[in-house]
């Protein structure tokens, strides 16, 4: 089941204070980016944040946070329940702290010349 655009729009609005936050559609789901770094996935209208040490420290107060895979064969991510989506400042901090630890994507290689 693909995620709804409204879900993604709401999450982007909630995390807008984290920096330059955007979404890219990927295989019917969405990758969320903060300052050019992919830090989360919205799949089946659920929010999955890439696990980082800073993110883990920030969410440690919430025992209800579980780890789950956003799709089969994926590494586990933090699954953020919809109940926490209304906690704007908490989400902003989680996005900011998580993205800060992640590397920038590698630049794309130029296309090889045709023979």
Per-residue confidence band for 17, with pLDDT thresholds at 50, 70 and 90? very high
Residue 71 lies in a domain: yes
CATH code where residue 93 lies: 3.30.1460.30
- Tell me the pTM: 0.87
Residue in 108, 98, 113 with CA at minimum distance from that of residue 40:
98
CA–CA dist 45, 90 (Å, integer):
19
Rounded to 10 degrees, the C-alpha dihedral 54/56/61/62 comes to 140
**Tokens 């794309």 sit at which residue?**
108
pLDDT for the residue numbered 1: 63
Range of the domain at 21: 5-101
Domain assignment of residue 111, yes or no = no
Is 25 within a domain? Answer: yes
- pLDDT at residue 111 in the model: 80
* Helix pair angle (5-14, 88-101), 10° resolution: 90
**Model pLDDT, residue 105:** 80
Where are any strands of DSSP class E within the chain? 21-26, 29-34, 37-43, 46-49, 66-68, 77-80
Question: Would 85 be classed as within a structural domain?
Answer: yes
* Residue 50 confidence class, pLDDT cut points 50, 70, 90: very high
In contact, 41 and 27? CB cutoff 8 Å? no
pLDDT in tens, 59-90: 877 666 789 999 898 899 999 999 899 999 99
- Taking only the tens place, the pLDDT of each residue in 100-113 is 999 888 777 778 88
pLDDT at 96: 94
Contact indicator for 71, 2 with CB cutoff of 8 Å: no
The domain total for the chain is 1
């Amino acid at each position: 089941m693909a995620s709804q655009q409204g879900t993604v729009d709401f999450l982007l609005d909630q995390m807008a204070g984290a920096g330059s936050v955007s979404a890219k559609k990927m295989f019917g789901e969405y990758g969320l980016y903060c300052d050019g770094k992919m830090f989360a996935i919205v799949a089946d209208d659920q929010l999955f944040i890439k696990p980082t040490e800073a993110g883990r420290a920030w969410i440690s107060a919430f025992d209800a946070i579980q780890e789950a895979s956003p799709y089969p064969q994926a590494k586990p991510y933090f699954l953020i329940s919809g109940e926490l989506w209304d906690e704007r400042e908490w989400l902003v901090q989680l996005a900011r702290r998580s993205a800060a630890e992640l590397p920038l994507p590698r630049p794309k290689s130029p296309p090889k010349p045709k023979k």
